[in-house]
A and B are shown apart, each in its own frame.
Chain A
Amino acid sequence: MTEARFELIVLGAGPAGLAAAKAAADSGREVLVLDDNPLPGGQIWRGGPDQAPNARARAAFSALQHPRIAYRPGARLFAAPGPGTLLVELPEGGCRLGYGQLILATGARERFLPFPGWTLPGVFGLGGLQALAKGGYPVAGKRIVLAGTGPLLLAVADTLKARGARVLLLAEQAPLGRVARFAAGLVRHPAKLAQAVALKSRLLGIPYRCSSHVLEASGRERLERLRLSWGGEEGFIDCDYLGCAFGLLPNTETGQLLGCTLAAGAVAVDDYQQTSRPGVYAAGEACGIGGVDKAQIEGRIAGLAAAGRPEEARRLFPARAHARDFADRLAEAFRLEPALLRLARPDTLICRCEDVPLQALQSCSSWREAKLLTRCGMGACQGRTCGPMAETLLGFEPRGSRPPLQPVSLETLVSALSPTDPR
Chain B
Amino acid sequence: MQYDVIIVGGGIIAAALAESLALAGASVLVLEAQNAGAGVSAAGMGHLVVLDDNPAELALARDGLERWQRRRAVLPAGAEYRECGTLWLARDGEELAEAERKQARNRTLGLDCKLLGRAALYAAEPNLAPGFAGGLLRPDEAVLYPPAACSWLLANAQALGARLLEHCPVAELAEGGVRCADGREFRARAVVLAAGTASPELLPGLPLKPRKGQLAITERYPDLVRHQLVELGYIKRAHAATGDSVAFNVQPRATGQILIGSSRENEDTGAELNWPLLGEMLELAGSMLPALRQCRILRAWTGLRPATPDGLPLLGPVPGRTGLWLATGHEGLGITTALSSAALLAAQILGRKPELDPAPYWPQRFHQLSGSALHA
Contacts and interface: CB of A to CB of B under 8 A. Distances in A.
Contacts of B260: 410
A385 to B, nearest CB: 15
A404 interface: yes
Contacts of B42: 372
A380 B218 CA distance: 9
B119 interface: no
A417 B276 contact: yes
B282 A413 contact: yes
A373 interface: yes
Contacts of B278: 413, 417
Interface in B172-208: none
A365 B279 CA distance: 35
B275 A81 contact: yes
A407 B221 CA distance: 14
Interface residues of A, number: 28
Contacts of A79: 275
Nearest to B148: A373
A332 interface: no
A368 interface: yes
Contacts of A402: 299-301
A369 B300 contact: no
A410 B35 CA distance: 31
B148 A410 contact: no
B38 A372 contact: yes
A336 interface: no
A410 B292 contact: yes
A366 interface: yes
Interface in A348-377: 365-366, 368-369, 372-375
B35 A411 contact: no
Interface string B117-154: 00000000000000000000000000000011001000
A373 B275 contact: no
A373 B286 contact: no
Contacts of B273: 81, 403
B219 interface: yes
A382 B276 CA distance: 23
Given A81-B273, A373-B148, A380-B219, A413 B38 contact: no
B52 interface: no
A344 B5 CA distance: 42
A192 B283 CA distance: 54
A68 B155 CA distance: 62
B35 A369 contact: yes
B93 interface: no
Interface string A61-83: 00000000000000000010110
A197 interface: no
Contacts of B34: 368
Given A410-B282, A411-B286, A373 B298 contact: no
A316 interface: no
B279 A413 contact: yes
Contacts, number: 83
Q: Which of A82, A373, A380, A382 has the most CB of B within 10 A?
A: A373
A194 interface: no
A410 B283 CA distance: 8
A372 B37 contact: yes
A414 interface: yes
Contacts of B168: none
A414 B300 contact: no
A87 B260 CA distance: 20
Interface string B253-292: 0010000100000000000010110110011011000001
Q: On chain B, which size bracket covers the interface?
A: 20 to 34
Given A81-B275, A372-B147, A373-B151, A404 B293 contact: no
A408 interface: yes
Given A403-B273, A414-B282, A372 B298 contact: no
B45 to A, nearest CB: 15
B78 interface: yes
Contacts of A378: 298-299
Contacts of A366: 35
A410 B286 contact: yes
B301 A409 contact: no
Contacts of A413: 278-279, 282, 297
B296 interface: yes
B23 interface: no
A420 interface: no
Contact of B297 (A369, A372, A410): A410
B295 A410 contact: yes
Contacts of B242: none
Contacts of A82: 275
B297 A404 contact: yes
Given A81-B275, A409-B293, A413-B282, A372 B219 contact: no
A407 B297 contact: yes
A365 B167 CA distance: 11
B108 interface: no
A16 B293 CA distance: 36
A76 to B, nearest CB: 11
A338 to B, nearest CB: 28
A418 interface: yes
Nearest to A401: B299
A413 B78 CA distance: 30
Given A380-B219, A403-B273, A414-B286, A409 B294 contact: yes
Contacts of B299: 378, 382, 402-404
A404 B282 CA distance: 13
Nearest to B166: A365
A175 B300 CA distance: 45
B275 A417 contact: yes
19 contacts: A81-B273, A365-B166, A369-B35, A372-B148, A373-B147, A373-B148, A373-B151, A380-B219, A380-B298, A403-B273, A404-B298, A407-B219, A409-B296, A409-B297, A410-B282, A410-B285, A410-B295, A413-B278, A418-B283
Interface of B: 34-35, 37-38, 42, 78, 147-148, 151, 166, 218-219, 255, 260, 273, 275-276, 278-279, 282-283, 285-286, 292-301
Given A403-B300, A414-B279, 6 more contacts: A408-B297, A409-B297, A410-B292, A411-B293, A413-B282, A414-B283
Interface of A: 79, 81-82, 87, 365-366, 368-369, 372-375, 378-380, 382, 402-404, 407-411, 413-414, 417-418
Q: Give the top 7 A-B pairs by smallest Cβ distance, nearest first.
A: A417-B279, A81-B275, A407-B296, A372-B147, A411-B293, A414-B283, A369-B35
